[in-house]
Every structure is written in C-alpha cells, then in structure tokens.
Amino acid sequence: MDRLDGLTLFVRIVETGSFSRAADMLAIPRATATYAIQQLEARLSTQLLERTTRQVRPTLDGQAFYERCVAILSDIDDAESSLRHVAANPRGTLRVDMSGTHAMRIVLPHIEAFHQRYPEIMLAVSSGDRLVDLVREGVDCVIRAGHPRDSTLVVRRLALMPQVICASPAYLAAAGVLNSPGDLAQHQVVGFMSGEGVIDYSIDLINGGKTESFTASGWMAVNDAENYVVSALSGAGLIQLPRFHVEQALREGRLVEVLEGWQSPPMPLSILYPWRRHLSPRLRVFIDWLIDVYRQRLPE
C-alpha cells in the first residue's frame, strides 16, 4: 500500500471508528488495513490510534495528523477535479441513502440512464428513514423529505412534492365524509413516527396563505412510508402524503381524496451531504441528474 492509500485508510478508520468498516469501504482485507497502520505508526515513530474492544479512536497526535491528512486529501481531490477529463468522466463508488419509496418509485426506475451516462461510477444505495451519520458511516449523501434539522450538512432542494389527504372508501363509509377542516376532530389519522420517536397525528392545511395544523386522534402509528399507505388502505384512518406515492391507488378507487377544496402545503425533498470546499465529480453529477429526474417526475 503506497503512502496516499495509507493516509486514506487512516482517515477512514478515524471517521468510522473501526478497522473493519474502513477496510470494507476501501475493499481491502482487514489484516492489510491493520498492517498498513502498524507500518505508518512505525514510520512516524508515533502511536496514532488507541484500540479497545469496542472502538478505535485517535490519540492526540493522531487527531492532529488526521486533520492534516484530511486537508492533504482534499487538496488532491481538488487538483484531480480540476482536470477536464476527470470532471467529464467521474469514477469511483458513490454511497447514497434514501427512503424505499423514492428508490422504488422515482430514482431506481431511471438509474440505468445514469449508468449509461457515467459508467465508471459504482452506486451503493441503502434505503431507510433513520438518521444517518454520513461521515461515520461513509455515506456520501442522503435524500430526505421534510425540513432537515442537521445544520452541519449542506442541504440542496430537489423538489416540492404536492400532497394529498386520503383514506379508504371503507373507512369513509364508516366514519363519514369531511366537509371542512373542523371535521378532522371527529376522525382517525394514521400517525407517523419520526426518527426521534415523536408521533405526529396532525393534518396540515394552507389557510389564508399560512400553514395551519389540525390535530386529530389516532390509534396506530408507523415509521415507514409504505406501511403508512398500507395502513390507510386497510381502513386505519386518514393519511397525508405526497400525491405521487398514491396516484395509482387514487385512480383505482382504493383510496379517496378528501378536503379537495383545501390546499395541503407541499413537502420539500432535499439531498444532504457533508460540507466540502469542492464536491467530488461523482457526487456533483449525481445531484444534477437527480434534480433533472425529479423535475420530470414532479413538474409541479
């Protein structure tokens, strides 16, 4: 392993807190990673990492060395990115996390077009709505709906998704129709749990140019978008979500839109990634491609 690869390995170990995870990210055996760090420490005559049974963390000298390594590797990335052929033909592995709904319904159906355009980029896509530590887990970017709260990340808007309020015909037959937002107090809403475990049973509507929240009761909550829709289809109550997710169910009559005369606020969708002076070419082209995909899929 040459010096540059050794520095990259050391940075990944510090950021992930694990020899194994760093080795997996760089596609090398764990024994190779261990030997390379031993050689690096021997060459510097300094202990860089403290190893315990649970975690690996840098020593004081290791932390200072890590910060210099990050700056050096960033400068190298900048230099390579400035080369026209590198920018035009990005390569390497790009790790992306997004909800299963967006992966299945919007992104992955078009992913072959991205591969045809950028054949040297290897994609690793994970799905979920949990909070992701991008640096520690080695994830390049995440796609999330709603209003991000992590101020340490760069947030770039992908789309504003029109929302709809709906329920199953069986539920509405039993619970009655809704003529105004005031009727929500007599209805059941399927709750949605956030990553922090907070359950939201509210319905948001635009009233007089401002978003107003109407609280309803409910007996069931989920933390997954697909289960949210299935709960409504089974008659558990009202749901409010981006229209694209239930377009087919609405067309087929398995779900019925309610309060059509009232506008739901659109739900923002964003891509989040760690701040860097310059985006890597592969992340930059992926973001540009995603913006175009969502612009075509959600023109509103």
User: Do 184 and 51 fall within a single domain?
Assistant: no
Dist. CA 73–CA 145, nearest whole Å: 32
pLDDT on residue 129: 67
CATH code (residue 69):
1.10.10.10
Q: What percent of the chain has a predicted confidence (pLDDT) above 70?
A: 93
Burial of 168 from C-beta contacts in 10 A (0-12 / 13-18 / 19+): buried
Residue 198: which domain range? 163-265
Q: What is the mean pLDDT of the segment spanning 75-96? A: 75
54 falls in which pLDDT band (50, 70, 90)?
Answer: confident
CATH code (residue 292):
3.40.190.10
User: Do 281 and 152 fall within a single domain?
Assistant: yes
Domain count, the chain: 3
42 falls in which pLDDT band (50, 70, 90)?
Answer: very high
User: Do 66 and 129 fall within a single domain?
Assistant: no
pLDDT on residue 151: 67
Query: How far is C-alpha 59 from the chain's CA centre?
Result: 32
| Residue-wise pLDDT tens digits, 102-158 | 999 999 999 999 999 999 999 999 887 666 777 777 788 999 988 877 667 889 999
User: Do 46 and 102 fall within a single domain?
Assistant: no
Q: What is the mean pLDDT of the segment spanning 232-250? A: 95
User: Do 258 and 172 fall within a single domain?
Assistant: yes
User: Do 255 and 282 fall within a single domain?
Assistant: no
Chain mean pLDDT for the chain:
89
Nearest residue to 13 via CA among 74, 91, 66: 66
User: Do 142 and 178 fall within a single domain?
Assistant: no
Q: What is the mean pLDDT of the segment spanning 236-259? A: 96
Burial of 210 from C-beta contacts in 10 A (0-12 / 13-18 / 19+): exposed
pLDDT of 85 > 60? The answer is no
Q: Which of 81, 111, 132 is the last residue of a domain?
A: 81
81 falls in which pLDDT band (50, 70, 90)?
Answer: low
User: Do 139 and 281 fall within a single domain?
Assistant: yes
User: Do 147 and 280 fall within a single domain?
Assistant: yes
Dist. CA 70–CA 159, nearest whole Å: 33
Least confident of 46-55, 212-221, 222-231, 258-267: 46-55
Q: What is the mean pLDDT of the segment spanning 76-87? A: 66
Q: What is the mean pLDDT of the segment spanning 205-211? A: 90
Dist. CA 8–CA 12, nearest whole Å: 6
Dist. CA 58–CA 277, nearest whole Å: 24
User: Do 97 and 242 fall within a single domain?
Assistant: no
Dist. CA 13–CA 25, nearest whole Å: 10
Q: What is the mean pLDDT of the segment spanning 232-259? A: 96
Q: What is the mean pLDDT of the segment spanning 213-242? A: 94
User: Do 107 and 24 fall within a single domain?
Assistant: no
207 falls in which pLDDT band (50, 70, 90)?
Answer: confident
pLDDT on residue 88: 67
Token pair of 76, please? 């190298």
Least confident of 148-157, 174-183, 208-217, 227-236: 148-157
Q: How far is CA 93 from CA 139, 193, 281, 283, 289, in A?
A: 10, 32, 11, 10, 16
pLDDT on residue 87: 60
User: Do 140 and 287 fall within a single domain?
Assistant: yes
277 falls in which pLDDT band (50, 70, 90)?
Answer: low
pLDDT on residue 300: 61
Q: Which of 48, 63, 81 is the last residue of a domain?
A: 81
